[in-house]
Structure 1
Amino acid sequence: MMNIWLGCGGYSNDDWTAEGLIYEGVKKDAYLQTYAEHFAAVELNSSFYAIPGIKAFEGMVRRAGGRDFRMAVKLNRVFTHDRAPQDSDFDRMLQSPEPLRDAGMMGPYLAQFPYSFHRTRENRLYLAELTERFAGHELAVEVRHASWDRPEVREGMAEYGVIWVSPDYPPVGGMPEPQVHVTGEVGYLRLHGRNEGSWWEGQSAAERHDYRYSRAEMDEWAEKIALVEGDLSELYVFFQNTTKGHALHNIPMLREALEARGLSVITPQPADTGRLL
């Protein structure tokens, strides 16, 4: 049976302190603990900007521990945007999350490449080298330019044990199609919202992800997920539309749609706070 882990891209969202949302009246150092009461997984964003140390990951385990919880770790920008990692960067990126592994909370690494990362010979060689350095670890790769959206690319990823990140982008063209593709036993889906007007022109990620999915759109994704149930043992689904708490409303919609189709969604038991979810 495929286990589905639902969560958000990041958990340090100050706009979730609004009335009725999960961080209302919650101190910042208790965000992760509160988050883990409602969601079974999170995509760690802070590691993109600075790789946390081992003690920082130990703290995350303590705050989210005692629950069936997974944390996907985004690779630092030196691997995906600068593309000039040193051996020391690899060492820190691979060693620092050890507390997550010890606690059984480690999800895949996420390599999120920018749209400018086209499928050129140079970039293919770089991706092959990166894949080799992370061999033995679950590595999910998001490539945003449509030139990568080809069966032979996914076949290559499957051969090397790399997870193709299935995306949901606004319908602006030039990016991979919104389909769930399988390259191994683990799947990875990132839902960015469909805010066409601000995807290219938006001044920030928050502006680009300012979108709330409809119930019909969540049903559409539940249908696509149901089609690959027999092909995956685990599927991670991360909502990036965290602006204004949109993801907090959409995750219950998707969970309900998945469970209505008999799919297994990992769901924590929330505390009785009276807040959303």
Structure 2
Amino acid sequence: MGEILVGTCSWTDRELTGSGWYPPGRRDAEGRLRHYAGRFAVVEVDATYYALPGERNSRLWAERTPDGFVFDVKAFSLLTGHPTRAALLPDGLPADARDPRVLDEVWARFAAGAEPLREAGRLGAVLFQFPPWFRPGARAEDFLERTAERTAGWPLAVEFRHPAWWRGEQERATRALLTRHGMAAVAVDMTQALPVSVPPVTPVTSPRLSVVRFHGRSAAWGTGSKEDRFRYAYQDAELRAWLPRLRALAGRVERLHVLFNNCCGTSAVRAAEAMTRLLGRPADGRPVPA
């Protein structure tokens, strides 16, 4: 039975840092991370989607967290086919993902930035979150194959935002595709009332890792502001309904990461605390066998 690690998709979200969840004396960069890592065993680094990670920051994160704590690092936007401003690229390179020179340099910088976490045993996974227009087909499969070649030996997790990947007969093909590349499938919880809703399937495609990301169930998904999309407070009954699936996943992998992305105020940390309690985890969130 694998370990279950519960956490959130950010520890630096502006609304969280201003909410009072961090106590006095723990509101600087070091204090916030130490406080968070004393309560949960995993966190997702959202900032690396918007800017390439720096080796210094990664080294500091490793130094400020206890043994057993891990970071899931979100892949930089250009690496998942999202629009990326040229100002965010090294040395002013053009934001053209078709240019091999650009891609080679961005991949190298991303890998170097995350390396201190890997060396310290703190790299839980690299999350490749693909955009809603990334749909099943030959072009997408080719993109995934090239990504697998670039990331050989990395712990990878893949989240698809286009629902067709997990609907109908395509689900089996998607499962086989990720399994072939050794990529862990990311399951999601979100509203099921929209045409773009991704179904809450829980495939296992890697024996090492499974990831579940709770986005909240706001009906504003895909339309409103970031706060509107993620403003949702999970109730215990909603979390409890996931317990059989989480325990089943943990029974098939070495580690299961359960992450709350409803980052609006304290909603994500409160949901993570509630899930920790419902799973019977220790109060400090340390990973133990499921």
TM value normalised by structure 2: 0.84
Deviations 1:98-128 (A, max 9, x none): 2112221111100111112112322221122
2:127 is aligned, of 77, 98, 110, to 110
Does the 8 Å CA contact 1:8/1:247 hold for their aligned counterparts?
yes
Does the 8 Å CA contact 2:19/2:265 hold for their aligned counterparts?
no
1:183 is aligned, of 200, 205, 212, to 205
Q: Which runs of 5+ in 1 are unaligned?
A: 270-277
Deviations 1:20-77 (A, max 9, x none): 523555333222122111111110011111112211211111222x342000111000
Deviations 1:234-267 (A, max 9, x none): 00111001201111211122122222xxx89982
Give the superposition deviation at 1:130: 1.0
Partner of 2:69: 69
TM value normalised by structure 1: 0.88
Aligned CA RMSD, in angstroms, stands at 2.2
Give the SS at the match of 1:86.
helix
Matched residue count = 263
Partner of 2:285: 267
2:237 is aligned, of 216, 220, 225, to 216
- For residues 2-17 of structure 1, what are the structure 2 equivalents within 5 Å? 2-17=2-17
Distance 1:59 1:132, change over 3 A: same
Does the 8 Å CA contact 1:195/1:208 hold for their aligned counterparts?
yes
Is 1:257–2:278 an aligned residue pair?
yes
Give the SS at the match of 1:243.
coil
Distance 1:54 1:156, change over 3 A: same
- Partners in 2 of 1:108 and 1:19 — Cα distance? 28
Identity of aligned residues (%): 29
- Partners in 1 of 2:103 and 2:199 — Cα distance? 33
Does the 8 Å CA contact 2:58/2:116 hold for their aligned counterparts?
yes
Does the 8 Å CA contact 2:276/2:282 hold for their aligned counterparts?
no
Distance 1:57 1:155, change over 3 A: same
Partner of 2:60: 59
> Residue type matched to 2:37 in 1?
A
Does the 8 Å CA contact 1:8/1:43 hold for their aligned counterparts?
yes
Give the superposition deviation at 1:134: 0.9
1:193 is aligned, of 216, 232, 243, to 216
Does the 8 Å CA contact 1:47/1:75 hold for their aligned counterparts?
yes
1:238 is aligned, of 259, 268, 273, to 259
Does the 8 Å CA contact 2:19/2:266 hold for their aligned counterparts?
no
- For residues 115-154 of structure 1, what are the structure 2 equivalents within 5 Å? 115-149=132-166, 150-154=171-175
Give the SS at the match of 1:5.
strand
Distance 1:268 1:233, change over 3 A: closer
